[in-house]
Chain A
Amino acid sequence: MNKYQVTFMPDKVTVAVMKGTNLLLAAKKAGIDIESPCGGHGTCGKCAVKILNGAYDMQDDSHLPKELKEMGYTLACQVKVRNDMTVEVPFLSRLTRHKVVLGSKRTKFNKEHDYFGKKPMDPICRKYAVQLEAPYLSDSLNDLDRLKHALSRQYGLTDVRIALSCLKTLPSALRQGGWEVTVTVADTGSAAEIVAVEPGRSTKPAYGIAVDIGTTTVVVNLLNTEKGKILDKAGSYNKQAVYGSDVISRIIYTDEHADGLALLQKAVVETINELIDGILRKNGLEPGDIPVMVCGGNTVMTHLFMGVTASYLRLEPYVPSAVKFPVVKARELNININPEAAVITIPSVASYVGGDITAGVLATMIARSEALTLFIDIGTNGELVLGNKDWMVTCSCSAGPAFEGSGISCGMRAMDGAIDWIAIDHQSLEVQCKVIGDTKPLGICGSGLIYSLSEMMEAGIIDRAGKILTGKASGRIRKTSEGREYVLIYAEESGTGQDIVITEGDIKNLLRAKGAIFAGIRTMLQMVQLDTSAIERVYIAGGFGNDINLADAVNIGLLPDLPAEKYEYVGNSCIQGAMIVLLCREALAESEKLADGMTYLELSVGNQFMDEFISAMFIPHTDLSLFPTLHSA
């Protein structure tokens, strides 16, 4: 079969592909990541590209916005290559560098309120410098047992296994170091194993990598596990995004493509490897220096990372393949660190409450506190945990990706060009806004949407049901064939050349998203027969959490009306939990206990959630008495 050259502009990258190759995948091959929230089904209309020349077959571009069509754009996922082509990928369609929440500003885990306030660090991987007696004719004990005896004598370590690759280097290392070696031992609880051998006394400390595998973004932290110090952080978008923006469309991709699961696993591993490569290079380290890695991710991400099918999570009765995954070697997953390194994944609770939540609970130490705590992780799904040291319940409410900008006409993720703050003048209805990266605005991200909703409500542009009112005379309120809309930014001021608007449909989506989270909170409280006022503390986690404005989030009824001092932003609690596990063997065992100990509440059973959901689809809520401070204001 013929191969054709496809050149992507303005990058000027050319790849050779088979006839009939999908243009979206050709771009991926060229290393250009194009937005494709629907997973290449041609339904999201986001992968717009301009074909400068060349022959191709077009499938269905009916979901491409009309204005883009008129400007000569077409949907990449619907194009099949038929000849040499030149394609321009506009900025708008690219997954540009993400603003990734890298976790808290803490660099050391030694503060009093931290996990290690009362507990000494006991990292999974330690380095041991061992001095051996040299053998002689009447003491001809073999090298390995000699090492084991020395470890036992010097450090009290018994039952240590050795990886074959380390055994291969042991004899020469021993002799090269004059019978002194430094071994790195990984102890994940079941068995200790020597995963690295260095001749002599090594000057390098033990390192470790913590990873947060998010559906949207992946964050990697490099630690000195001896000192408990965070050396560096890096984050980028998850390359799986090409196959769909949410977990469900990614699972569907694995179901519909024979090599889908392998592709998705490869994509996330590539993402992690790129981040690790960068961070190691920056810190002058070699891949071999990393003997351990701990990952936290939602249940689907964990499945896909491990290359285990997640198909049955999607189908009733929504059963995951596993919640606790075995500790594997880095080489088994092609992670670019020491091939013998232990790769640990934090256990999940259920299909839709994953290891990221377990990690968050571990890091926030909810299970050690008397105080009744509500933990909220707002992302594509809203996951909730309620409890204290005696009990914990958890649930997941399908809030939908509206707060991540998906399903919103001018929505986008929190990256450069996203509006993340707005204010509306109550008289003139004029708009002031702030844009991430101080560029021209391209769209609105989650926090911008919360501000918008709250401000539009305050300014009397929408009523409590989310309907755009016509009472106020302003050119910004318009009627289109699909209902009313409010113009935030006019085309001439925007970076897209088009108006940035919020439509009534968008508002409905936002109300659904915030309603689902609030209804989840209420339903969970009712299931344990507690009142909102019983909550003593609320932790808000998630990449979104850091930008979220509390007052406005309460104003629109996303979060319960509790005193501000009860709220605390914990940022990326998943990576914090992963780091704690790196630094503490007991935490690894604790994470398993936590995952086992959380009672999963299935909200879709019974009609209580639905009832609460309908009540919550109002600003702030049908039951205004739940929002006393807003009501009195």
Chain B
Amino acid sequence: MPVQVLKERNSSKVTSITLGATKEQGGTRTGTITVGGEASLPFLHFEGEMPNKPVIAMEVVDRVPEEWNEELKAAFEGVMDSPAAWAKKSVEEFGADMIFLKLQSADPELGNSSPEKCIETVKSVLAAVGVPLAVVGCGIDEVDNKVIAAVAEACAGENLLLGFATQENYNTIVAACMVHKHTVIAQSPLDINICKQLNILISEMGLPLDKIIIDPSIGGLGYGIEYAYSIGERGRIGTLQGDKMLALPTLGTIGFEAWKAKEANVGIDEFPGWGEQAERGILWEAVTASALLQSGLDILVMRHPEAVKLVRKNIGDLMVPNSL
């Protein structure tokens, strides 16, 4: 007896957004990346198309992140003091689809880099790799408003992915994106209402919706991942039901959240039953990523090359249309 497969009829889909710009498009990238466009819940290929696979952006920091786990630092040995080299290695050796550059040294307590210095860093990374670039600030609003606005101007036309616009601080960065043709990351604190409100606020400033990527905030494995999942799911269901203000691709800072977990960092000597830390940390990041892929993330910001490898394989498997 043939099995009747029940299919949801969805009236709407996620907006497709292209990141980066080639020479013809006014930038310097060798290729662009398009995310979004899903017309179903994640990976339900039989129900609706999923034209673009989720992409992995590897994280690069513009200062040596001493606080990172030794295992992580070992993977990038020799390139961590040069964002350009770090980015190059990430793309050429580890196959990153994008680079996620964190201008952490702009923080007055972590280097106090001037906007000019930050522009220099971004330019060097742009020169080193051909993939699209995401650039975010140090997290201090006043500093980021100067740094990101300067980067946006200096890299006009590159269609960078700039962040973070938050409900408290979105005007400057959104204006910079509008004027200099970039895409913005709209970050909300695990709250679907604020997520939507921020998108409304940004689009009312005049930035088109296809220039906004959502960062709904996530929790790592064991640290509220289920909550992050349900926020992602709610957003996607809202999207499919026709909510234009939620119908945007999403980004998750996987590496940052996963490597914060105690379970990713403590050594085997402390918890003999937990197994080797190196393997455990990688898996912690990979599992966080694969779990949240199911909530509909389009851009995974990751750290460890081994975790990236595992997740890329996972994405490849999931993108094979099922026989249904």
- For A441-469 the 0/1 string (1 means CB < 8 A from B) is 00000000000000000000001110101
Known: A463-B204, A614-B191. A622 touches B171 (CB 8 A): no
Query: In the docked arrangement, what's the CA distance between A413 and B306, Å?
Result: 66
- For B165-209 the 0/1 string (1 means CB < 8 A from A) is 001100100000000000000000001011011001100100000
A464: which of B171, B191, B204, B243 is its contact (CB, 8 Å)? Answer: B204
Q: Which residues of B contact A464 (CB under 8 A)?
A: 197, 200-201, 204
Query: In the docked arrangement, what's the CA distance between A470 and B196, Å?
Result: 22
Q: Which residues of A contact B201 (CB under 8 A)?
A: 463-465
State the interface size on chain B (CB cutoff 8 A).
13
Residue among B168, B191, B200 facing the most chain A CB atoms (10 A cut-off): B200
B200 close to A622 (CB less than 8 A): yes
- B291 is an interface residue with CB less than 8 A from chain A: no
Query: In the docked arrangement, what's the CA distance between A622 and B200, Å?
Result: 8
B196 close to A622 (CB less than 8 A): yes
- B150 is an interface residue with CB less than 8 A from chain A: no
Main SS of chain A's interface residues? loop
A465 close to B167 (CB less than 8 A): yes
B191 close to A469 (CB less than 8 A): no
Query: In the docked arrangement, what's the CA distance between A463 and B197, Å?
Result: 10
- A624 is an interface residue with CB less than 8 A from chain B: yes
Query: In the docked arrangement, what's the CA distance between A623 and B245, Å?
Result: 9
- For A593-633 the 0/1 string (1 means CB < 8 A from B) is 00000000000000000010011011000111000000000
Query: In the docked arrangement, what's the CA distance between A484 and B256, Å?
Result: 34
Known: A614-B193, A622-B193, A624-B245. A471 touches B200 (CB 8 A): no
B200 close to A624 (CB less than 8 A): yes
Q: Which residues of B contact A618 (CB under 8 A)?
A: 193, 197, 200
Query: In the docked arrangement, what's the CA distance between A250 and B323, Å?
Result: 69
Query: In the docked arrangement, what's the CA distance between A608 and B191, Å?
Result: 14
- For B225-267 the 0/1 string (1 means CB < 8 A from A) is 0000000000000000001010000000000000000000000
Query: In the docked arrangement, what's the CA distance between A614 and B196, Å?
Result: 11
Report A461 CB to chain B, min CB distance, Å. 13
Q: Which residues of B contact A623 (CB under 8 A)?
A: 196, 243
Residue among B167, B194, B197, B245 facing the most chain A CB atoms (10 A cut-off): B197
A465 close to B171 (CB less than 8 A): no
Report A422 CB to chain B, min CB distance, Å. 23
Which residue from chain A places its CB closest to the CB of B194 in the assembled complex? A614
Report B243 CB to chain A, min CB distance, Å. 8
Q: Which chain A residues in 560-600 approach chain B with CB under 8 Å? A: none
B200 close to A615 (CB less than 8 A): no
Which residue from chain A places its CB closest to the CB of B195 in the assembled complex? A622
A622: which of B168, B197, B204 is its contact (CB, 8 Å)? Answer: B197
Report B178 CB to chain A, min CB distance, Å. 13
Q: Which residues of A contact B196 (CB under 8 A)?
A: 622-623
Query: In the docked arrangement, what's the CA distance between A607 and B82, Å?
Result: 49
Which residue from chain B places its CB closest to the CB of A614 in the assembled complex? B193
Q: How many A-B residue pairs have CB under 8 A?
A: 31
Which residue from chain A places its CB closest to the CB of B200 in the assembled complex? A464
- Size range of the interface on A? 10 to 19
Q: Which residues of A contact B200 (CB under 8 A)?
A: 464, 618, 622, 624
Query: In the docked arrangement, what's the CA distance between A465 and B243, Å?
Result: 19
Which residue from chain B places its CB closest to the CB of A460 in the assembled complex? B204
Query: In the docked arrangement, what's the CA distance between A622 and B201, Å?
Result: 10
Known: A471-B171, A614-B191. A465 touches B245 (CB 8 A): no
A615: which of B167, B168, B193, B204 is its contact (CB, 8 Å)? Answer: B193
Q: Which residues of A contact B194 (CB under 8 A)?
A: 614
- For B155-171 the 0/1 string (1 means CB < 8 A from A) is 00000000000011001
Report B169 CB to chain A, min CB distance, Å. 10
Q: Which residues of B contact A624 (CB under 8 A)?
A: 200, 245
Report A563 CB to chain B, min CB distance, Å. 24
A469 close to B193 (CB less than 8 A): no
Query: In the docked arrangement, what's the CA distance between A471 and B172, Å?
Result: 10
Q: Which residues of B contact A467 (CB under 8 A)?
A: 167-168
Which residue from chain B places its CB closest to the CB of A470 in the assembled complex? B171
Q: Which residues of A contact B243 (CB under 8 A)?
A: 623
Which residue from chain A places its CB closest to the CB of B169 in the assembled complex? A467
Q: Which residues of B contact A615 (CB under 8 A)?
A: 193
Query: In the docked arrangement, what's the CA distance between A465 and B194, Å?
Result: 9
Q: Which residues of A contact B171 (CB under 8 A)?
A: 469-471
Q: Which chain A residues in 418-456 approach chain B with CB under 8 Å? A: none
Report B69 CB to chain A, min CB distance, Å. 36
- For A263-297 the 0/1 string (1 means CB < 8 A from B) is 00000000000000000000000000000000000
- For B200-223 the 0/1 string (1 means CB < 8 A from A) is 110010000000000000000000
Which residue from chain A places its CB closest to the CB of B238 in the assembled complex? A623
Q: Which residues of B contact A617 (CB under 8 A)?
A: 193
Q: Which residues of A contact B168 (CB under 8 A)?
A: 467
Report A474 CB to chain B, min CB distance, Å. 16
Query: In the docked arrangement, what's the CA distance between A470 and B168, Å?
Result: 13
Query: In the docked arrangement, what's the CA distance between A135 and B168, Å?
Result: 91
- For B49-81 the 0/1 string (1 means CB < 8 A from A) is 000000000000000000000000000000000
Report A472 CB to chain B, min CB distance, Å. 12
Q: Which residues of A contact B193 (CB under 8 A)?
A: 611, 614-615, 617-618, 622
Report B200 CB to chain A, min CB distance, Å. 6
Report A518 CB to chain B, min CB distance, Å. 13
Residue among A463, A611, A615 facing the most chain B CB atoms (10 A cut-off): A463
- For A128-153 the 0/1 string (1 means CB < 8 A from B) is 00000000000000000000000000
Query: In the docked arrangement, what's the CA distance between A190 and B167, Å?
Result: 62
Query: In the docked arrangement, what's the CA distance between A623 and B246, Å?
Result: 10
Query: In the docked arrangement, what's the CA distance between A623 and B243, Å?
Result: 9
Q: Which residues of B contact A463 (CB under 8 A)?
A: 201, 204
Which residue from chain A places its CB closest to the CB of B172 in the assembled complex? A470
Q: Which residues of A contact B197 (CB under 8 A)?
A: 464-465, 618, 622
Q: Which residues of B contact A614 (CB under 8 A)?
A: 191, 193-194
Which residue from chain A places its CB closest to the CB of B196 in the assembled complex? A622
Report B4 CB to chain A, min CB distance, Å. 29
Q: Which residues of A contact B204 (CB under 8 A)?
A: 463-464
Report A462 CB to chain B, min CB distance, Å. 11
Query: In the docked arrangement, what's the CA distance between A465 and B168, Å?
Result: 9
Report B19 CB to chain A, min CB distance, Å. 27
Q: Which residues of B contact A471 (CB under 8 A)?
A: 171
Q: Which residues of B contact A465 (CB under 8 A)?
A: 167, 197, 201
Query: In the docked arrangement, what's the CA distance between A463 and B171, Å?
Result: 10
Query: In the docked arrangement, what's the CA distance between A471 and B170, Å?
Result: 12
Report B108 CB to chain A, min CB distance, Å. 21
Report B324 CB to chain A, min CB distance, Å. 33
Which residue from chain A places its CB closest to the CB of B199 in the assembled complex? A622
Which residue from chain A places its CB closest to the CB of B198 in the assembled complex? A465
Query: In the docked arrangement, what's the CA distance between A24 and B193, Å?
Result: 45
Q: Which residues of B contact A470 (CB under 8 A)?
A: 171
Query: In the docked arrangement, what's the CA distance between A369 and B197, Å?
Result: 39
- For A15-50 the 0/1 string (1 means CB < 8 A from B) is 000000000000000000000000000000000000
- For A245-272 the 0/1 string (1 means CB < 8 A from B) is 0000000000000000000000000000
Report B242 CB to chain A, min CB distance, Å. 9
Report B199 CB to chain A, min CB distance, Å. 10
Report A411 CB to chain B, min CB distance, Å. 25
Report A323 CB to chain B, min CB distance, Å. 36
Which residue from chain B places its CB closest to the CB of A624 in the assembled complex? B200
Report A504 CB to chain B, min CB distance, Å. 11
Query: In the docked arrangement, what's the CA distance between A19 and B128, Å?
Result: 83
21 pairs, CB–CB < 8 Å, chain A vs chain B: A463-B204, A464-B197, A464-B200, A464-B201, A464-B204, A465-B197, A465-B201, A467-B167, A469-B171, A471-B171, A614-B193, A614-B194, A615-B193, A617-B193, A618-B193, A622-B193, A622-B196, A622-B197, A622-B200, A624-B200, A624-B245
6 new A-B contacts at CB < 8 Å, known A471-B171, A618-B197: A464-B201, A465-B201, A614-B191, A617-B193, A622-B197, A624-B245
CB within 8 Å of A: which residues of B? Answer: 167-168, 171, 191, 193-194, 196-197, 200-201, 204, 243, 245
Closest 3 CB pairs of A and B: A614-B193, A615-B193, A622-B193
